[in-house]
């Protein structure tokens, strides 16, 4: 567990300030609370990280924001860095240059790699 703490901390310290704001702390609590359904946790993570308008106003998620979501969730689950572009290409199979929030949630919730539980 001690080896996982720095990785988990970095995952939720979105602004790299070295401290967790209340919103960052809340994101960590929600993601680690496995009593909340997985799709709801993923939805919360996407919405929480979107406070600064990284999602298009029409509900579409841009590749840049999608990569950021994948980076954070890959960090949380201890997956290799640098795979966010590959993940994005899998969710945006039609190469539209955007996905909907529902498409992103569906993709993440169906991936076995994102279905593991860590013992904290």
**What does the pLDDT look like over 63-117, one tens digit per residue?**
999 998 898 888 878 888 888 999 999 999 999 999 999 999 999 989 888 876 5
For residue 65, count CB atoms less than 10 angstroms from its CB and return exposed for 0-12, middle for 13-18, buried for 19 or more. Answer: buried
The C-alpha atoms of residue 75 and residue 12 are separated, in whole angstroms, by: 9
Query: How is the chain split into domains, by residue range?
Result: 3-114
Interval 52-62: pLDDT, tens: 445 556 778 99
3-114 carries CATH number 1.10.1660: no
Mean pLDDT of 28-55: 74
> Does the pLDDT at position 39 exceed 80?
yes
| Residue 119: pLDDT over 60 | no
Q: Looking at residue 53, what is its pLDDT?
A: 47
In DSSP terms, 100 is beta-bridged to 60
pLDDT computed for residue 27 by the predictor: 77
């Amino acid at each position: 567990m001690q080896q996982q703490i720095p990785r988990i901390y970095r995952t939720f310290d979105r602004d790299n300030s070295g401290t967790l704001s209340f919103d960052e702390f809340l994101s960590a609590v929600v993601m680690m609370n496995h009593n909340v359904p997985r799709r709801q946790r993923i939805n919360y993570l996407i919405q929480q990280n979107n406070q600064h308008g990284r999602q298009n106003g029409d509900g579409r998620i841009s590749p840049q924001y999608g990569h950021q979501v994948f980076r954070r969730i890959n960090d949380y689950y201890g997956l290799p860095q640098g795979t966010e572009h590959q993940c994005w290409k899998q969710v945006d199979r039609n190469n539209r240059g955007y996905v909907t929030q529902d498409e992103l949630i569906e993709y993440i919730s169906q991936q076995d790699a994102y279905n593991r539980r860590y013992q904290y």
